């Protein structure tokens, strides 16, 4: 290894990579995070919902547990991060209202509510009138809803800026450089190969490059993390002076969601598209998102459209993240967070830092073993 050496080098400076770097640093390790454009990935494109209960899906029990635990960690994580960085993250304990536009939607919400109750989640079924009492800006035709008091939001871009600041203030080196590969010698990962023929030595390397995590050189084919980009388009709007807030809480229909920030900005999202690494914003998506938001909250037409965004979620074969040892000594993986990476940032960071310091993967991360797909593919389980 020709270049400098660290205890930990993290590849990827999205929310996940930076948070891992910061938590390793607070445990006393010498850390570098490498990323040519920190924040330019999914982290900057997200809506920032922290929504384990509204996002629950059948057959994802372990993931639900992980998401709930991370949501519980959020207040403490945010407090520590805001102190360490001197910046606000826009964490807002607003709750989330799921609403049905019509009878069909309401039947679907009825099924979701039954499932959420079966899981013992904190949910309340509401009639249309009760939804309107909570959110007077809703379309008067709203048929019913589910109120989820514990599903909140954070301003994902402010979170990212706070993580960069906390890292830099605490002595993490955030290097604006691209990793081209991992350096594997004698069966162990010794560090990271950078652009311009540079290398960084590392006792432990953490691969946290989001949907690009499968594109680095140096890993044997069977251990390359099976992540893929899942495109999501969303809109940023702003409430002009004199117009009342569109909503107080996150409002979700079955097709779109509306996330109101405390300062009048509003995010409307999101498409879910299998389009490879394409990040084109399409007129059709803008039309669908605005129409969907209008059906829930007609006042959206009064808002200023300030930005259209397309980002790439790091999807995995089972929609759950890949967290822990890669199968190569000295290399850990922290990616594949798909739709919940902002929510899962605190638990990922704590869990990976713990795995590095204690040399043992904490129990909560065990179901997310990165080699679970490989083992199955070669018939080991």
| Footprint of ligand FAD (CB under 6 A) | 11-17, 34-35, 37-38, 40-43, 45-49, 178-179, 208-210, 212, 216, 232, 234, 269-270, 311, 313-314, 335, 337-343
Q: How do beta strands 179-185 and 188-194 pair?
A: antiparallel
* Nearer Cβ to ligand FAD (143/219): 219
* Nearer Cβ to ligand FAD (144/267): 267
* Nearer Cβ to ligand FAD (29/334): 334
- The answer to whether residues 371 and 326 touch, using CB atoms and an 8 Å cutoff, is yes
* Nearer Cβ to ligand FAD (107/287): 287
Single out the residue of 170, 179, 192 nearest to residue 22, CA to CA: 170
* Nearer Cβ to ligand FAD (143/235): 235
* Nearer Cβ to ligand FAD (49/303): 49
Q: From the centroid of its chain, how far is CA 244?
A: 30
Q: Which residues are within 8 A (CB) of 73 and not within 5 positions of it... i.e. 6 or more apart? A: 346, 347, 350
Q: How far is the CB of 381 from ligand FAD (least distance, A)?
A: 26
Q: How far is the CB of 209 from ligand FAD (least distance, A)?
A: 4
Q: From the centroid of its chain, how far is CA 326?
A: 21
CA distances from 269 to 46, 135, 359 (A): 9, 19, 39
* Nearer Cβ to ligand FAD (17/128): 17
Q: How far is the CB of 88 from ligand FAD (least distance, A)?
A: 18
State how far the Cα of 164 lies from the Cα of 291, in Å rounded to an integer.
Answer: 36
Q: How far is the CB of 279 from ligand FAD (least distance, A)?
A: 9
- The answer to whether residues 34 and 194 touch, using CB atoms and an 8 Å cutoff, is yes
DSSP lists the bridge partners of residue 334 as: 323
Q: How far is the CB of 362 from ligand FAD (least distance, A)?
A: 19
Q: Describe the strand order of the beta sheet including 96-100 as a list of residue ranges.
A: 124-127, 144-148, 96-100, 250-252, 257-260, 265-269, 228-238, 304-315
Q: How far is the CB of 261 from ligand FAD (least distance, A)?
A: 13
Beta-strand runs (E) in 96-172: 96-100, 124-127, 144-148, 152-153
Q: How far is the CB of 191 from ligand FAD (least distance, A)?
A: 13
């Amino acid at each position: 290894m020709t270049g400098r050496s660290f205890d930990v080098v993290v590849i990827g400076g999205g929310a996940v990579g930076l948070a891992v770097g910061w938590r390793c640093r607070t445990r006393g390790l010498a850390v570098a995070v490498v990323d040519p454009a920190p924040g330019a990935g999914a982290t900057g494109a997200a809506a920032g919902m922290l929504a384990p209960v509204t996002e629950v899906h059948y057959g994802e029990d372990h993931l639900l547990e992980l998401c709930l635990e991370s949501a519980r960690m959020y207040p403490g994580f945010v407090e520590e991060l805001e102190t360490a960085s001197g910046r606000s993250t826009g964490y807002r304990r607003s709750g989330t209202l799921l609403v049905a536009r019509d009878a069909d939607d309401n039947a679907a919400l009825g099924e979701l509510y039954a499932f959420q109750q079966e899981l013992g989640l904190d949910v309340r079924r509401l009639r249309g009138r009760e939804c309107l009492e909570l959110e007077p800006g809703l379309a008067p035709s709203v048929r019913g809803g589910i109120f989820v008091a514990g599903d909140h939001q954070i301003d994902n871009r402010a979170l990212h800026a706070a993580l960069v600041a906390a890292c830099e203030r605490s002595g993490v080196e955030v290097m604006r450089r691209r990793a081209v590969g991992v350096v594997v010698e004698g069966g162990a990962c010794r560090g990271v190969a950078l652009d311009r023929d540079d290398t960084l030595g590392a006792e432990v390397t953490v691969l946290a490059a989001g949907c690009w995590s499968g594109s680095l050189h140096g890993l044997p084919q069977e251990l390359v993390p099976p992540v893929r980009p899942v495109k999501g388009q969303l809109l940023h709007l702003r409430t002009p002076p004199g117009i009342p807030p569109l909503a107080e809480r996150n409002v979700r229909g079955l097709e779109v969601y509306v996330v109101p920030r405390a300062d009048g900005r509003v995010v409307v999202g999101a498409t879910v598209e299998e389009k490879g690494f394409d990040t084109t914003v399409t007129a059709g998506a803008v039309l669908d998102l605005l129409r969907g938001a209008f059906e829930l909250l007609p006042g959206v037409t009064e808002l200023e459209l300030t930005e259209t965004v397309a980002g790439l979620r790091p999807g995995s074969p089972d929609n759950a993240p890949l967290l822990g040892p890669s199968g190569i000594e000295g290399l850990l993986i922290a990616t594949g967070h798909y739709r919940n990476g902002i929510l899962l940032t605190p638990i990922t960071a704590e869990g990976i830092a713990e795995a590095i310091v204690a040399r043992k993967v904490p129990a909560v991360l065990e179901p997310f073993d990165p080699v679970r797909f490989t083992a199955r593919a070669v018939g080991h389980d």
